[in-house]
Amino acid sequence: MKLPRIITKPYKLKDYKISLIFLVSALSVIGTQVVGSARESLQNKQIFGVIVGSIMMLVVSLIDYVWVLNLYWIIYAGAVGSLGMVLLIGQRVNGARRWIDLGFTTFQPSELAKILLILFFAKFIMDHRNNINDKMTIIKYAMLAAIPLALILIEPNLSTTICTALVICLLIYVGGLSYRFIITVLLILIPVTAIFLTIAVQPNQPFLKEYQQERILAFLNPEEHASDAAYQQNNSEMAIGSGQLTGKGLDNNTTTSVKNGNFILEPQTDFIFAIIGEELGFIGCCIVIALLLLVVIQCIMIGVRSQDLAGQVIGCGVGGLIGFQSFINIGVATNILPNTGVPLPFVSYGLTSLVSLYIGIGFVLNVGLQPKKYQ
């Protein structure tokens, strides 16, 4: 495999998307504040993650993504290898192996794997752009996707598996997958999903872990599970509603605070939006959602204006990842989706997720630095 000699190019400053950096930075500033309010002891780590992530973003943004994509099999091996390692040497927490202890911090391979898989499939789709709808190409794509998805699923980490699968489906759609194939898959997938859920809520079902089944049952019948599985989401709704228009303020010490009463477990990660709702109110929630939406739109627009299909896939893939994670996290916090653990991009605590997303934004910025020739 012959690699290009040039890693960077003479970019033009006018093509650098400063507005995207501003949006991500604004989200990160809000994130450090609400994480500190939720768990003061973690605020310095979150700030450290923002600093490291920002540096990584700037460095990656200057590396030619076309050069990086020539290493796509190494990238894929790194994603699969790290996911395999977590099953061998990963820390077991609450019955799941998702983290590798690095001594000074923990590393969650599935978060970085999302970005690596976007890069790998961007190159794969680029190389197969002329036969993307051929059966053999689709079979290869499905098999290559199935390996990392299976490794994430058996950790177990169903929520990350679903989120990653959605992103992988989005990538091939951007690559030009025919609507006929998409409609055919949906006609099969919808009834299969309905049958799966019908079986999954039955006693002694073979598909889900007990806690996963409880979360689905709590979502379907919250009144019956108000004291156990639905407890977190009910309290999250209460916290968001109690913030009203402007919120109770960051680091408030009011006795009526849901956060201060420890009624929400892990408020700095899965339920960070509940902290935003309670302390920053409806206005704060709208600001966070607007910032996330603008980041997604910016990523997609950069991808659309890319010089090639690989750049389009990277921009839309990173934008889609941020959009999917945001929707799932906020959906869980507001009780419109079953309880599942997905971080809110650039806001939730989690160094691996934070730095990985910054790296993804770095690649999007580099795509933006290489616009189509006619622009």
pLDDT digit string (tens) for 240-265? 888 889 888 887 766 566 666 666 77
| 77 pLDDT above the threshold of 60 | yes
Taking the C-alpha atoms of residue 159 and residue 369, their distance in angstroms, rounded to an integer, is: 33
What are the tens digits of pLDDT across the range 284-339? 999 999 999 999 999 999 999 998 999 999 999 999 999 999 999 999 888 888 77
Q: What is the pLDDT of residue 219?
A: 56
**Segment among 3-7, 97-101, 144-148 with least mean pLDDT:** 3-7
249: left (phi over 0), alpha (psi -120 to 50) or beta: left
pLDDT score for 15? 83
Residues 327-373 have pLDDT tens digits of: 999 998 888 887 777 899 999 998 999 999 999 999 999 999 987 75
239 close to 275: Cβ distance less than 8 angstroms: yes
Dump pLDDT digits (tens) for 259-284: 666 667 778 888 899 999 999 999 99
Place of tokens 């009910």: 234
- Cα separation, 109 vs 100, in Å, equals 8
pLDDT reading at 375 higher than 50: no
- Kindly state the helix (H) or strand (E) to which residue 28 belongs, with its residue range: helix 18-38
| pLDDT of amino acid 300 | 96
Alpha helices of 154-178 — where are they, by DSSP H?
158-174
Q: How far apart are CA 57 and CA 365, in angstroms?
A: 8
Separation of alpha carbons 214 and 204, rounded Å: 12
Residue 48 pLDDT class (50, 70, 90 cuts):
very high
Give residue 337's pLDDT.
82
Q: For the residues of 262-306, what is the DSSP string, one character each?
A: T-SSSTTTTTHHHHHHHHHHHHHHHHHHHHHHHHHHHHHHHHHTB
How many CB atoms sit inside 10 A of residue 257's CB?
Answer: 19
Q: Once rounded to an integer, what is the mean pLDDT over residues 130-154? A: 93
Query: Is the confidence at residue 226, as pLDDT, over 80?
Result: no
- Six-digit token pair at 280? 């920053």
- Share above pLDDT 70 across residues of the chain, in percent, rounded to a whole number: 84
**94 pLDDT tier (thresholds 50, 70, 90):** low
For residue 14, name the pLDDT band (cuts at 50, 70, 90): confident
Q: List all residues 6 or more positions away from 25 whose beta carbon is below 8 Å from its beta carbon.
A: 54
Task: Note the Cα 242 to chain centre separation in Å.
Answer: 28
- Is the predicted pLDDT of residue 183 greater than 80, yes or no? yes
Residues with Cβ within 8 Å of 107's Cβ and at least 6 positions away in sequence, in order, are 99, 100, 352
Record the pTM: 0.89
Q: What pLDDT, on the 0 to 100 scale, is given for residue 5?
A: 46
Judge whether residue 19 has pLDDT over 70.
Answer: yes
Higher-pLDDT residue of 7 and 89 is 89
